[in-house]
Amino acid sequence: MTGEEIKKLASDALKQMEEAILALLGKYEGLTNSEIAEKLNLHSSHEGGQRDYLTYSVLGILMDKKKVEKIKYHNSRNPVYRLKKVTKVDVEKKDLKTDVLLNNGCKRIIIGKFK
């Protein structure tokens, strides 16, 4: 494999993990990182420590892309991740034709802008 083929392989794998996490979160109101890793069979560790950083890192990417939000409850140590709720402001910031990821994981095309 060439260097470019290896990069494409890694990029494709990352996209698939992002899609799997989004699809999973579309079925739940919210999940912890550990629950996501367990349900997707992606538990990871480094020498027995730093557990589930693989899914944690992908969740960070999805939060940067504004597709997932982290909710911290005051009575819980572990935050819950869920699909970011689509708001009127989110849609207004986009182009006239907009793909919106709904909370059930499906996409809907919105034509026009909210008034």
Residues 59 and 98 in one domain: no
Residues 54 and 100 in one domain: no
Q: Which residue has the higher pLDDT, 14 or 107?
A: 14
Highest mean pLDDT among 66-70, 88-92, 93-97, 100-104: 66-70
Residues 33 and 62 in one domain: yes
On the question of pLDDT at 49 being above 80, the answer is no
Q: What is the mean pLDDT of residues 77-106?
A: 65
Question: Which residues span the domain enclosing 98?
Answer: 85-115
Residues 30 and 68 in one domain: yes
Strands (DSSP E) contained in the chain are: 68-71, 80-83, 97-101, 107-111
pTM of this prediction? 0.71
Long-range contacts of 105-114 (CB under 8 A, 24+ apart): 105/22, 105/23, 105/25, 105/26, 105/27, 106/26, 114/88
Mean pLDDT score of the chain, rounded to an integer?
81
The predicted pLDDT at position 93 comes to 56
